[in-house]
């Protein structure tokens, strides 16, 4: 048996194509029903999110599974294979399992480490379970994947999102003001990073801005672009009275805002907190401003330093996820390999049980008059002996199943005891 | 050993374990373990059972003894912190709350067991209501204390520009400030109503409105606390105090209140 996955995601297919293969509600039920009725798929599951559409399945070992999935998708969505075939990826065995584990850890997501995907995979699994598409193997596989996803996130939750100077600035602003909806931002100057930071802040919820520039026309232009108020550089300090966040990125060769000026401003503001993001080189804001109460000043080096720390955390997240994935894959395949020897173990048990039963019957006949208790005791004794004898070979067989040469042990055992499915005749005396 | 003592000891050990796990996660720069939260919940349940058992044993709510009142205050503090932690995802508030709770519980364990309720008082229900308001107020001040600790920790990290894994659990300055303010409002309100009912009860006992207030050290302590926190509320609402100053005053205020509270009970015992 093999586990496989085939589908498309945000890396291989454009949104226009991905949305044509979205499964939800009725279409999901129909797809699961169609897969369940298909004898090729022993087990199946459809994962459909905004970033991916994937079909996980269990089948006999075959390299035709991409074809089966393509046919299923074509049948369900009526899109010819020629239109999406080139966007499909397909993996089987360890690659498929690793892919699933990467998906639940958020390593395959647009935003690294995002946790939403874990919930989406859980929902897909619940649907497949309810529709009886998922069986023993997918049940185990997905339960283990949830364990991986949760463990990785609970151990290394900090800082796995994309990191940039702008995103760090937004994060810091949220640490000070909690929500940015009520914050007013002033952008002083027109540097590229400054504008980028402003965009991030607007994305973070900021609604009100003031654009200040040496050239009033440029300030008006920015105010028009981002929907705010314009001010000259000379008016900037006065306008700060009602501003919470200041992004400064001018090309001025000297400090624009001194400690004394900001101290005066803070008095006039009644001590309301202010956050200065000084990304100008040379700096626009006096470094001593940070000493003032309720004023937080970060320059470009401070932001880059935090970026570096976060990047390290991000790399750590990826590395640790890989370690978890490798460990859990090993566990899963140990179980999966043991599943492969299960029929042999069952046949071995059946054979010995047959022998035990036949010999027990003969002995009881020879022994003559025995009470029911005595018969029961002998029955229990023989069962215990058989169970004890078989315990070690069974355990060893499961253990060896996960080795490369595990197949030979299974074969040898089958040969020695004639354990093929066809040769279940009673043993000769 | 009484059943309430068994539950009390188990709860105390649970809080110690919870705090240990929290400090360990900080030491290892890891997010707090999920186990830690469950340990806290288990300790809280044991604490609840301890209060119930002692109430059933004594035949009255645990407001009239030093032991019971400190334990109840610790219980209320944890309850508020857990609710706030769940509402705002503030792991640090839940993580640090046991520090204060352990202090309160240890103080409770060493307090002299004595029924403080004068048996000849007719309005027992009013006394219960009055005492419950006091402890609700003190618990709100305890939450202010914890929120102020977190505020100062976060402010320090932001000023030093050194963010850690722990920073994410500290919430934001604005949120801590808001929690502080809301807790202050609730605390002052409860204390005001508590004092008003206290004056009413003294009137019942002594027959006059104010002449007996000076002779009751608990009432004097309550009035002192009320003046302290009213002043803070006034300073906050008129923007005379902000940010770290509020945090420092809240912490100092709670320390003074706590010491006064213990001192007055001790004085009461001696007298």
- SS3 readout for B140-208: HHHHHHHHHHHHHHHHHHHHHCCCCHHHHHHCCHHHHHHHHHHHHHHHHHHHHHHHHHHHHHHHHHHCC
Phi-psi domain of A31 (left: phi exceeds 0; alpha: psi -120 through 50; beta: other) = alpha
Is the CB of A155 less than 8 angstroms away from the CB of B30?
yes
In the prediction, which pLDDT does B120 show? 53
Mean per-residue pLDDT over chain A, rounded = 87
Chain B residue numbers touching A298 (CB-CB < 8 A) = 161
Chain B: give the shortest CA distance to residue A158, in Å: 6
Cα(B219)–Cα(B212) distance, rounded to whole angstroms? 10
Can you count the helices (H) and strands (E) in chain A? Answer: 15, 10
Residue of A nearest to B175 (CA): A178
Structure token digits, residue A283: 């700096």
Nearest to A154 among B34, B170, B178 (CB): B34
Q: How far is CA A174 from CA A205, A427, B169, B226, in A?
A: 10, 78, 13, 34
Rg over CA atoms, chain B? 19
Cα(A316)–Cα(A21) distance, rounded to whole angstroms? 34
Is the CB of B172 less than 8 angstroms away from the CB of A154?
no
Of A300, A273, A89, A49, whose CA–CA distance to A196 is shortest?
A300
Residue A26 has, within 13 A of its CA and on its CB side, a CA count of 1
Of A162, A158, A198, whose CA–CA distance to A180 is shortest?
A198
Number of residue pairs across A and B with CB atoms under 8 Å? 62
pLDDT tens for A79-128 read: 999 989 899 999 998 999 999 999 999 888 877 777 788 999 999 999 99
H or E segment at A48?
strand A43-48
In the prediction, which pLDDT does A397 show? 82
Contact A265, A204 (CB under 8 A): no
Residue of B nearest to A302 (CA): B161
Q: What is the DSSP string of B78-143?
A: HHHHHHHHHHHT-HHHHHHHHHHHHHHHHHHHHS-----S-TT-S-HHHHHHHHHHHHHHHHHHHH
Nearest to A298 among B33, B161, B242 (CB): B161
Q: What length does chain A have?
A: 429
> In angstroms, how far is CA A32 from the centroid of its own chain?
23
Mean pLDDT of A20-47: 90
Of A278, A429, A320, A280, whose CA–CA distance to A101 is shortest?
A320
pLDDT tens for B253-269 read: 888 887 777 766 665 55
Is the CB of B239 less than 8 angstroms away from the CB of A179?
no
- pLDDT over 50 at A429, yes or no: no
Confidence band of A422 (pLDDT split at 50, 70, 90): low
Chain A: give the shortest CA distance to residue B104, in Å: 31
Is the CB of B161 less than 8 angstroms away from the CB of A302?
yes
Mean pLDDT of A235-256: 90
Please state the φ and ψ torsions of residue A290, each to the nearest 5 degrees: -65, -20
Cβ of residue A378 closer than 8 Å to a chain B Cβ: no
Q: Using DSSP, state whether B212 is helix, strand or coil.
A: coil
Nearest to B31 among A158, A272, A306 (CB): A158
Nearest to A271 among B158, B173, B239 (CB): B239
Cβ of residue A39 closer than 8 Å to a chain B Cβ: no
Contact A126, A46 (CB under 8 A): no
Which has the minimum average pLDDT: A249-253, A355-359, B47-51, B229-233?
Answer: A249-253
Residue of A nearest to B156 (CA): A296
> Of the residues A50, A160, A183, A307, which is catalytic?
A50
Chain A residue numbers touching B170 (CB-CB < 8 A) = 175
Residues 6 or more apart whose Cβ sits within 8 Å of residue A185: A198, A201, A206, A208, A209, A210, A243, A244, A245, A246, A247
Q: How far is CA A39 from CA A34, A57, A60, A290, in A?
A: 10, 12, 10, 70
> Residues 164-193, chain B: which have Cβ within 8 Å of A?
165, 167-168, 170-175, 178
Q: Name the residue with higher pLDDT: A114 or A303.
A: A303
Mean pLDDT of A63-86: 89
In the prediction, which pLDDT does A426 show? 47
Of A123, A150, A125, whose CA–CA distance to A135 is shortest?
A125
Mean pLDDT of A230-250: 91
Is the CB of A271 less than 8 angstroms away from the CB of B243?
yes
Chain B residue numbers touching A309 (CB-CB < 8 A) = 163
Cα(B247)–Cα(B144) distance, rounded to whole angstroms? 8
Chain A: give the shortest CA distance to residue B88, in Å: 11
Provide the 10 A C-beta neighbour count for residue A415. 10
Nearest to A175 among B30, B173, B245 (CB): B173
Provide the 10 A C-beta neighbour count for residue A278. 29
Chain A residue numbers touching B163 (CB-CB < 8 A) = 306, 309
Contact A229, A211 (CB under 8 A): yes
Nearest to B31 among A157, A178, A306 (CB): A157
Nearest to A174 among B165, B172, B242 (CB): B172
Cα(B91)–Cα(B18) distance, rounded to whole angstroms? 12
Chain B residue numbers touching A313 (CB-CB < 8 A) = 165
Structure token digits, residue B228: 């302290």
Of B195, B200, B252, whose CA–CA distance to B218 is shortest?
B195
Task: Describe chain A by its helix, strand, coil percentages, rounded to 5.
Answer: 60, 15, 25
pLDDT tens for A133-168 read: 999 899 999 999 999 988 887 766 554 555 678 888
Q: Using DSSP, state whether A247 is helix, strand or coil.
A: strand
Chain B: give the shortest CA distance to residue A52, in Å: 30
Cα(B141)–Cα(B186) distance, rounded to whole angstroms? 9
Mean pLDDT of A295-320: 85
pTM of the model: 0.68
- Judge whether A183 counts as a catalytic residue: no
Is the CB of A290 less than 8 angstroms away from the CB of B159?
yes
Of B84, B178, B140, B30, whose CA–CA distance to A176 is shortest?
B178
Chain B: give the shortest CA distance to residue A255, in Å: 20
Cβ of residue A331 closer than 8 Å to a chain B Cβ: no
Helix axes A165-177, B173-206, angle to 10 degrees: 10
Q: Name the residue with higher pLDDT: B180 or B35.
A: B180
Residue of B nearest to A158 (CA): B165
Please state the φ and ψ torsions of residue A41, each to the nearest 5 degrees: -95, 110
Residue of B nearest to A299 (CA): B161
- How much of chain A exceeds pLDDT 90, in percent? 39
Contact B221, B116 (CB under 8 A): no
In the prediction, which pLDDT does A427 show? 45
Q: What is the DSSP string of A197-221?
A: HHHHHHHTT--EEEEEESSHHHHHH
Cα(B105)–Cα(B74) distance, rounded to whole angstroms? 7
Helix axes B243-270, B217-237, angle to 10 degrees: 170
- pLDDT over 90 at B152, yes or no: yes
Is the CB of B158 less than 8 angstroms away from the CB of A294?
no
Q: Name the residue with higher pLDDT: B62 or A421.
A: B62
pLDDT tens for A376-391 read: 999 999 999 999 999 9
Contact A59, A65 (CB under 8 A): yes
Cβ of residue B113 closer than 8 Å to a chain A Cβ: no
Chain B residue numbers touching A293 (CB-CB < 8 A) = 242-245
Residue of A nearest to B154 (CA): A175
Cα(A56)–Cα(A2) distance, rounded to whole angstroms? 11
8-state DSSP, A257 = B
pLDDT tens for B2-29 read: 788 899 999 999 999 998 988 888 777 6
């Amino acid at each position: 048996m093999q586990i496989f996955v085939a589908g498309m995601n945000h890396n291989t297919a454009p949104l226009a194509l991905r949305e044509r293969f979205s499964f939800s509600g009725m279409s999901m039920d129909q797809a699961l029903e169609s897969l369940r009725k298909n004898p090729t798929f022993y087990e199946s599951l459809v994962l459909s999110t905004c970033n991916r559409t994937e079909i996980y399945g269990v089948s006999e070992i075959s390299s035709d599974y991409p074809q089966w999935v393509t046919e299923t998708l074509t049948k369900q969505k009526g899109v010819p294979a020629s239109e999406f075939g080139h966007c499909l990826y397909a993996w089987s065995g360890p690659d498929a399992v690793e892919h699933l584990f990467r998906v639940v850890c958020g390593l395959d997501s647009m935003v690294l480490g995002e946790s939403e995907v874990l919930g989406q995979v859980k929902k897909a699994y619940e649907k497949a379970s309810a529709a009886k598409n998922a069986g023993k193997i997918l049940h185990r596989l997905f339960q283990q994947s949830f364990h991986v996803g949760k463990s990785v996130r609970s151990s290394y939750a900090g800082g796995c999102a994309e990191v940039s100077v702008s995103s760090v600035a937004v994060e810091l602003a949220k640490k000070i003001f909690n929500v940015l909806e009520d914050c007013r931002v002033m952008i002083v100057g027109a540097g590229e990073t400054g504008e980028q930071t402003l965009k991030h802040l607007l994305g973070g919820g900021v609604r009100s801005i003031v654009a200040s520039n040496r050239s009033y026309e440029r300030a008006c232009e920015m105010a028009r672009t981002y929907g705010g108020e314009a001010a000259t550089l000379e008016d900037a300090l006065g306008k700060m009275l009602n501003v919470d966040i200041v992004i400064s990125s001018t090309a001025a060769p000297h400090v624009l805002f001194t400690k004394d000026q900001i101290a005066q401003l803070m008095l006039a503001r009644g001590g309301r907190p202010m956050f200065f993001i000084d990304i100008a080189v040379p700096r626009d804001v006096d470094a001593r401003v940070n000493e003032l109460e309720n004023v937080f000043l970060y320059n470009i080096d401070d932001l880059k330093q935090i970026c570096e720390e976060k990047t390290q955390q991000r790399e750590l997240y990826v590395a640790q996820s890989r370690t978890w994935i490798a460990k859990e894959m090993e566990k899963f395949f140990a179980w999966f390999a043991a599943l492969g020897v299960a029929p042999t173990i069952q046949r071995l048990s059946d054979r010995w049980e047959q022998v035990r039963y036949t010999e027990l019957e003969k002995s009881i006949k020879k022994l003559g008059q025995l009470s029911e208790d005595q018969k029961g005791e002998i029955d229990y004794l023989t069962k215990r002996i058989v169970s004890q004898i078989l315990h070690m070979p069974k355990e060893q067989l499961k253990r060896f199943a996960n080795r490369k040469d595990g197949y030979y042990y299974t074969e040898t055992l089958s040969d020695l005891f004639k354990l093929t499915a066809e040769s279940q005749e009673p043993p000769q005396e | 050993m009484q059943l309430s003592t068994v539950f009390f000891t188990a709860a105390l050990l649970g809080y110690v374990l919870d705090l240990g796990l929290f400090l360990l996660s900080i030491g290892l720069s890891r997010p707090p373990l999920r186990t830690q939260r469950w340990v806290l919940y288990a300790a809280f349940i044991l604490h609840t059972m301890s209060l119930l058992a002692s109430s059933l044993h004594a035949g009255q709510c645990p407001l009239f003894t030093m032991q019971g009142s400190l334990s109840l205050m610790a219980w209320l503090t944890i309850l508020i912190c857990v609710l706030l932690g769940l509402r705002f995802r503030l792991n640090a508030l839940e993580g640090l709350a046991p520090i204060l709770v352990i202090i309160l519980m240890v103080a409770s364990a060493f307090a002299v067991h004595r029924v403080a309720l004068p048996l000849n008082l007719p309005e027992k229900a009013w006394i219960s209501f009055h005492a419950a308001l006091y402890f609700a107020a003190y618990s709100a001040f305890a939450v202010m204390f914890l929120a102020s600790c977190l505020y100062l920790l976060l402010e320090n990290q932001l000023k030093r520009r050194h963010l850690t894994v722990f920073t994410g659990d500290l919430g934001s300055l604005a949120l801590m400030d808001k929690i502080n303010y809301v807790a202050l409002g609730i605390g002052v309100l409860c204390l005001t109503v508590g004092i008003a009912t206290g004056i009413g009860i003294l009137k019942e006992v002594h027959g006059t409105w104010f002449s007996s207030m000076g002779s009751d050290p608990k009432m004097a302590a309550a009035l002192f606390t009320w003046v302290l926190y009213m002043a803070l509320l006034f300073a906050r609402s008129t923007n005379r105090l902000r940010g770290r100053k509020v945090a420092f005053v809240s912490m100092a205020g709670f320390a003074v209140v706590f010491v006064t509270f213990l001192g007055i009970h001790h004085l009461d015992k001696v007298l």
